Amino acid sequence: MTLGARRLLPGLALLLLAAWFVLPLVPLALWGLADRWSAPAVLPQEWGLSGVAEAAEQGAGSGVVGSLALGGLVAMLATPLGALAGRALASRHLPASVLVGAVLLSPLVVPPFVVAMGFDVLLLRLAVPAWAGVVLLLTVAALPYTTYVMRTAYGGYDQGFDDEARTLGASPRQVVRLVQVPVLTPALAAAAFLAFLVGWSDYVVTVLVGGGRLVTLPLLVASATSAVGNEAQVAALSLLAVLPPLALLLIVAAIGRRGRKVRA
Amino acid sequence: MNGYLRLTGVSLRYGPQQEPALDEVDLEVPAGSSVAILGPSGSGKSTLLRVAAGLEEPTAGSVTLDDVDLAGTAAENRGMAMVFQRPLLFPHLDVTDNVAFADRVRGVPRRAARRRAREFLELVQLAGFERRTPRSLSGGQEQRVALARALAAEPRVLLLDEPFSALDAGLREEMYELLDELRLRLSPTILLVTHDHREADALGDTVAVLDGGRLLQSGPMRQLYTRPASLAVSRLLGGRNEIAGEVRGGWHHSPLGVFRVATSVADGPGVLLIRQEAVELTGADADAVGTVVRVRRRGPRALVTVEVGGPDRPGTARVTAELGPGLQLEVGRDVGLRLPAEALAVVAGNARQDGVEADPVESVDDGQR
Amino acid sequence: MAADGPRRQPVTGLPLAAPGRRTHTAGPLHTGRSRRSPRRRALLLILPAVVPTGAVVLAALTSALLSSLGLTPLVGQPRLTLDPWRAPTDHLWTAAGLSVAIATAATVLAALVGLATALAITGRRRSGRLLALLSSATIPVPHVVGAAAVGLLLADAGFLPRVLGVETGWPPLVGGRWWIAVVAEYAWKESAFIALVVSSALASRVASYRDTAIVLGARPWARLRYVTLPLAAPALVASAGISFVYVLGSYEVAWLLGRPSPEPLPVLAFRLFTSLELTARPEAAAVAVATAALALAAVAVAAAALRRMEGWR
C-alpha cells in the first residue's frame, strides 16, 4: 500500500459511513419540500409545502397531540420507576438481583406484539380503557432503558457525596434533593428521553391495544406509506415525527455536556 | 536491550498562544543507567516521557536512541516500554497473556510467548499467579505484572510514569527493592518521572528537576540536595531554610551571620540555603545562637524552628533543623546552631520571590552536559 | 466475609447480601429512620418497576400460551388442543425461517457498520465526532419513519435509482424476493444503536489501553486484533443480541417494505390476530409464543457468549 492510499482509505471509510447514516434521510427532506418531483429528475421540479398541507388534512395535528401525550406519559411514569429500580440494582443490597434484573430486562426479549396480543384479552376482560392499556404496556417496554441508564448512573455515583452531605448536616431527604438529583440530572434527562421515544415511536402496541381510537404520528405515517403515490405527504408526516425528538435529543445532549462540565 | 537515550532541545507547544508544555529540554540517559525526572504536577514531566515514547510529537528538538534520530518512528517501533501510574492490565487477558502481549503482537507463537511470560512473572516474584485475572489482583500485584509486561517487551529504554505513586508506603518500598534487583539482573536503561524527591533518590542514579516545562537542574541527588541551583529546586526537594541576605566578595551576610560562599555568586542579594537535616543543634561551638520558636512533630524526628537575631545585628532569621529521635526541646529554649560549610549553598536573588531564577539551568555534574 | 465474622453487624438477623466493606457501616449513621435493612430498602425501591413488568410480561405470555392451547376461546367451550399450533404449521416454519434470516442478515450488517462506526468515533481523528453526531441523529427516528424513508430511497422510482441514473431495470428492492429494503432499514437503525453502545463502552478506556499497547510495540492491526476488538466484544455481543431480538419481533417495517407472502412471524401473527375468523386468534397466539421462544433462545445464546467474556469489564 502506498502512503497516499494509507492516508486516503480511512477518510474514504469515514465518508461511506457518514453517507450510510445520512442517505435515507435525504429523500425524506426533499420530498417534504417538493410540490412536484416526477421521475427520473434527481431534484424536485417544483418546491413547496403541499405535502405539509396534505398531512394536516390527514389529521397530523391530532397525531402530534396523541404522540406527545403518549411519549410524555410514558416518560413521566418510566423515568421515576427506572430511577428507583436503578438505585436498588446499583446498591448491591438487592436480594435475588440476577432474577430481578432478568425480569426488568424481559420486555427487551419478549417482542412487543407478543405482549400486546397476550395482554389485549386481559385488558378487554378487565375493561381497562384502551389508552391506559397502551400507556401501561409502553411504560413496561420503556422500563429496561430507564432502569439501565439510571443503574449505570448510580453505579458511577460516588457514595461519598451522600456521606459528605450527611456529615455536613443534610437530612436524607435533602441529600436526595440537593445532591443526588442535581448530580444525576444528565442521566435522568437521558432516561426520560429514551422513555419518551418508546411512546413516541410505537406502532404495533398502539394499533393492537389502542384499537384505532388512539391516533399517533406513526399510525399516520404507516397508513400514508402503505398507500401509493403520496410521497410528499409521507415525507411531511415523517419529518413531523422526526424533528421533535431530534430537538429533544439536542436538549438532552446539552444537559449532559453541562453535567460533565460541572463535574470536571 | 540497553539503549542510550538522548533528548536535545525538545520543546512542545499545543498552541501558539499557550505556554510551552516543554521548553528546550536537554536530557541524557546513558545505557544501563536510571534517570529520574522530578517535578510537581503540571511540570510537564509526563509529557516529556510521552515525547520520548513517541506518543507525542515535539514541536522542536530531537529524540535519539543510540544516536539514531527517532523522528518519524512510530511509538510501537521505538523499542521502548512504559509503565503508567495506573497498571492498565488488559482486562480480557489473564496475567500470563498480559505479560506475553508484546511477544504476541510481534508474532511469537502463543506457547513460546507464554513460556517467556512465566519467566518474567518469576522475575517479579509472581510465580503462581499465571492464570489469575487482572481483577483478582491487589494494587501492588497489578503493578508488578505491569512491570513484568514492560520488561518482557525487552525494551531498549524502560519508561516509568509515576508507577508506584498509587501504592501505599510499604508496597512502594517493596517495589523499590524489586526494581533494584531487576536493575542488577537486567540493567535496563530507565527513564522515570516522579513528584517525590525521596522516590527520585531511591530509583535514579541521577535526577533532573523539571518545572514549568523547563529543566532546572540535573545531577546526582546528593549534589542536588546540597547545591540546589535555585530556590525552586530547593523547594521541590523539600528544603525548608531560605535565609535572605547579601553577597559581598564571596561572603554571605545575613542576620544569621557571615558565611563563605562555595560557588561563585555575583555580589548583590543572595539567599543562603541549607537542608534542615544538615543543621546541627548544639550547646557549644555554635555558628549562631537563637531561641526555639516552634516545634513540629514529624514521626520519630521533630522539626525545630530557631529564631536567630539579637541587639547587635539588624533583623532576624529563622532556621529549621531536624531533631533526632529521643531528643526533646521546648519553645523558648536558647540553642546553638552549627551550619557545616559543605552543606551551605547560596543562590542569587531574594527569598520571598517565588519566581524562577534568571538562568536556572545549571548542571552540577558538568561531565553530564 | 466469613473470616471477619465477629465484626459483622447483627442488624436484623438477616444474612448480609453484599460481601466486604460496605456492610460494616452500621455505626452511628444508621440510627433512627435508616434502621431499616438495606435489603428491604432495595426491595421497596425496585418493586414499583418489577411488579408491573413481571405482571405484564408473565400475564401476556401465560394468556398467549393458554389461548394457543385452545383454553381461552372467544366463543365456545375451552378444550385443550394443539390445533392452533398445527393449523399454520407450514406457515409457522416458513415464517420462523424467514424471520431468523432477516434478523441475522440485518444484525450482521448492523454489527459490522456499527463496529466500524464506533472505531471511527473513538479513533484519534477529529472527524469521528461528526460521525458520532450523524449516527446518533438516527436514534430518535421511529422505525415506521425509517421504513418510509428507505422506501423513498430504494423503490424503483426512489431517490437512489434517480441519483444513479437507472431508469429501467432497477431491481425490486422494496417488496422483492430478497427483502433487501427490510434488511436495509433494520441494519440502518440498529447500526446506529450498536455504534452508540460500543463507542460508549470503548470511549472511557480505549485511549489509555491503546497507549499501553503502542509502547509495548503493537502495530495498528495488532492493536485492533489484540486490544480494541476484545475490549469492544462484550458491548458488541450484547447490543447485537438486543438488535437481533428486536428485528425478530418487529412488525411494521417488514409489513411496509416486504412482500405479501411468505410472511415473517410478526406479520403472520398480526394478520391472524386481526382476522375476522375467530379461530385465527389461537393460531395468532401460537405464532406469538413461537416468536417469544425464538427470542428467548437467541438471548440465551448471547448471554452464554457474554458469560464467557465475564471479567473483561
Tens digits of residue pLDDT in C141-159: 999 999 999 999 999 889 9
Q: Let me know if residue A13 belongs to a domain.
A: no
pLDDT at B313: 61
Assign residue B117 the CATH number of its domain.
3.40.50.300
Q: Let me know if residue A40 belongs to a domain.
A: no
Q: Tell me if C219 and B76 make a contact (CB, 8 A cut-off).
A: yes
The phi and psi torsions of A69 (rounded to 5 degrees) equal -65, -45
- Whether B244 and B215 map to the same domain: the answer is no
Q: Give the residue from chain C lying closest to B153, CA to CA.
A: C216
Q: How far is A255 from chain C (nearest CA, A)?
A: 16
Q: Tell me the H-state helices in chain B.
A: 45-53, 95-99, 101-105, 110-123, 139-152, 169-186, 197-203, 221-226, 231-236
- Give, as one character, the DSSP assignment of residue B364: S
Geometric angle at alpha carbon B201, from B197 and B202, rounded to 5°: 115
- Whether B165 and B252 map to the same domain: the answer is no
Between B245 and C188, the more confident residue is C188
- Do residues B144 and B172 touch, judged by C-beta distance below 8 A? no
Does pLDDT of C6 surpass 60?
no
Contact of C124 with chain B, judged by CB distance below 8 Å, is answered with no
Q: Give the residue from chain C lying closest to B80, CA to CA.
A: C215
* Residues of C in Cβ contact (< 8 Å) with A85: 45-46, 48-50
Q: How far is A39 from chain C (nearest CA, A)?
A: 6
Q: Let me know if residue B304 belongs to a domain.
A: yes
Q: Let me know if residue B212 belongs to a domain.
A: yes
pLDDT at A182: 84
Q: Tell me if C222 and B105 make a contact (CB, 8 A cut-off).
A: yes
Q: Let me know if residue B181 belongs to a domain.
A: yes
Domain that holds residue A139: 59-263
Residue of C204, C212, C310 to mutate for B, most B C-beta atoms under 10 A: C212
* Residues in chain A, pLDDT under 70: 1-6, 260-264
* Residues of C in Cβ contact (< 8 Å) with A140: 52-53, 56-57
**In chain B, positions 112-151, which contact chain C (CB-CB < 8 Å)?**
133, 135, 149-150
- Whether B214 and B341 map to the same domain: the answer is no
- Whether B160 and B104 map to the same domain: the answer is yes
* Residues of C in Cβ contact (< 8 Å) with B80: 215
Q: Let me know if residue B61 belongs to a domain.
A: yes
Q: Let me know if residue A39 belongs to a domain.
A: no
* Residues of C in Cβ contact (< 8 Å) with B81: 215-217
Record the cell numbers describing residue C187, joined without a space.
441494519
Torsion of CA C72, C74, C80, C86, to 10 degrees: -110
**In chain B, positions 208-237, which contact chain C (CB-CB < 8 Å)?**
none
Q: Give the residue from chain C lying closest to A169, CA to CA.
A: C29
Between A169 and C227, the more confident residue is C227
Cα–Cα distance, A81 to B290 (Å, whole number): 72
pLDDT at C253: 96
Residue of B1, B76, B84, B157 to mutate for C, most C C-beta atoms under 10 A: B76
The string of pLDDT tens digits covering residues C97-136 is 999 999 999 999 999 999 999 999 998 777 888 999 999 9
pLDDT at B359: 36
Band of residue B60 on the pLDDT scale cut at 50, 70, 90? very high
Does pLDDT of C211 surpass 50?
yes
In this complex, the chains that touch C, judged by 3 or more CB pairs closer than 8 A, are A, B
Span of A181-185, B233-237, B350-354 with lowest mean pLDDT: B350-354
Record the cell numbers describing residue A104, joined without a space.
426488568
Residue B254, burial from CB neighbour count under 10 angstroms (0-12, 13-18, 19+): buried
Band of residue B53 on the pLDDT scale cut at 50, 70, 90? very high
**Would you mind telling me the total number of residues written for chain A in this entry?**
264
Record the cell numbers describing residue A38, joined without a space.
416526477
- Whether B199 and B284 map to the same domain: the answer is no
Mean pLDDT over all residues of chain C? 85
Record the cell numbers describing residue A116, joined without a space.
400486546
- Do residues A13 and C138 touch, judged by C-beta distance below 8 A? no
Contact of B90 with chain C, judged by CB distance below 8 Å, is answered with yes
Cα–Cα distance, C110 to C240 (Å, whole number): 8
Q: Let me know if residue A136 belongs to a domain.
A: yes
What is the average per-residue pLDDT within B341-355? 76
Q: Considering only CA atoms, which of B45, B269, B85, B253 is closest in space to residue B165? A: B85
Highest mean pLDDT among A64-73, B295-304, B336-345: A64-73
Neighbours of B235 (CB within 10 A): 16
Q: Tell me if C212 and B82 make a contact (CB, 8 A cut-off).
A: yes
- Do residues C187 and C110 touch, judged by C-beta distance below 8 A? yes
* Residues of C in Cβ contact (< 8 Å) with A122: 59-60, 63
Q: What is the DSSP string of A103-169?
A: HHHHHHHS-HHHHHHHHHHHHHHHT--HHHHHHHHHHHHHHHHHHHHHHHHHHHS-HHHHHHHHHTT
Cα–Cα distance, B276 to B290 (Å, whole number): 15
The string of pLDDT tens digits covering residues B198-232 is 999 999 999 999 999 999 999 999 999 999 999 99
ipTM rounded to 2 decimals:
0.92
Span of A142-146, B92-96, B164-168, C24-28 with lowest mean pLDDT: C24-28
Band of residue C277 on the pLDDT scale cut at 50, 70, 90? confident
- Do residues C264 and C106 touch, judged by C-beta distance below 8 A? no
Taken in order A48, A50, A55, A59, is the CA torsion positive or negative?
positive
* Whether residue C15 has a cis bond before it, omega within 30° of 0: no
In this complex, the residue of A18, A26, A234 whose CB is nearest that of residue C134 is: A18
- Whether B250 and B214 map to the same domain: the answer is no
Q: Within 13 A of B173's CA, how many CA atoms are on the CB side?
A: 2
pLDDT at B110: 93
Q: Let me know if residue B15 belongs to a domain.
A: yes
Q: Let me know if residue B31 belongs to a domain.
A: yes
- Whether B288 and B190 map to the same domain: the answer is no
Q: Tell me if A238 and C18 make a contact (CB, 8 A cut-off).
A: no
Geometric angle at alpha carbon B48, from B47 and B50, rounded to 5°: 60
pLDDT at B1: 63
- Whether B49 and B160 map to the same domain: the answer is yes
Between B301 and A74, the more confident residue is A74
Contact of C301 with chain A, judged by CB distance below 8 Å, is answered with no
- Whether B184 and B248 map to the same domain: the answer is no
The string of pLDDT tens digits covering residues B137-190 is 999 999 999 999 999 999 999 999 998 988 888 999 999 999 999 999 999 999
Q: Tell me if C43 and A116 make a contact (CB, 8 A cut-off).
A: no
Q: Considering only CA atoms, which of C10, C49, C46, C38 is closest in space to residue A93? A: C38
Q: Which pTM was predicted?
A: 0.84
Q: Let me know if residue A102 belongs to a domain.
A: yes
Cα–Cα distance, B240 to B294 (Å, whole number): 14
Q: Let me know if residue B362 belongs to a domain.
A: no
The number of distinct structural domains making up chain B is: 2
Q: Let me know if residue B190 belongs to a domain.
A: yes
Assign residue B293 the CATH number of its domain.
2.40.50.140
Q: How far is C151 from chain B (nearest CA, A)?
A: 42
Contact of C231 with chain B, judged by CB distance below 8 Å, is answered with yes
pLDDT at B358: 35
Domains, chain C, ordered by start: 87-308 (1.10.3720.10)
pLDDT at C89: 65
Q: Tell me the H-state helices in chain C.
A: 38-68, 83-86, 89-122, 127-137, 143-154, 159-164, 180-203, 206-215, 220-223, 229-248, 252-257, 265-273, 280-308
Residue of A8, A15, A20 to mutate for C, most C C-beta atoms under 10 A: A20
SS3 B208: strand
- Whether B302 and B157 map to the same domain: the answer is no
Residue of B5, B49, B70, B101 to mutate for C, most C C-beta atoms under 10 A: B101
pLDDT at B362: 36
- Whether B65 and B200 map to the same domain: the answer is yes
Band of residue C79 on the pLDDT scale cut at 50, 70, 90? confident
Cα–Cα distance, B303 to B323 (Å, whole number): 6
Contact of C213 with chain B, judged by CB distance below 8 Å, is answered with yes
Q: Considering only CA atoms, which of B154, A32, A247, A18 is closest in space to residue C113? A: A18
Q: How far is A162 from chain C (nearest CA, A)?
A: 12
Final residue in a domain of this structure, among B163, B192, B221: B221
Q: Let me know if residue A16 belongs to a domain.
A: no
Assign residue A84 the CATH number of its domain.
1.10.3720.10
Q: Give the residue from chain A lying closest to C33, CA to CA.
A: A172
The number of distinct structural domains making up chain A is: 1
Does pLDDT of C50 surpass 90?
yes
* Residues of A in Cβ contact (< 8 Å) with C49: 81-82, 84-85, 104, 143, 147
Domain that holds residue B334: 239-350
Q: Are strands B157-161 and B80-83 parallel, antiparallel or unpaired?
A: parallel
In this complex, the chains that touch A, judged by 3 or more CB pairs closer than 8 A, are C
Does pLDDT of C71 surpass 60?
yes
pLDDT at C198: 94
The string of pLDDT tens digits covering residues C173-203 is 999 999 999 999 999 999 999 999 999 889 8
The string of pLDDT tens digits covering residues B25-48 is 999 999 999 999 999 988 999 999
Beta-ladder partners of B190: B34, B158
- Whether B309 and B256 map to the same domain: the answer is yes
Cα–Cα distance, B365 to B223 (Å, whole number): 8
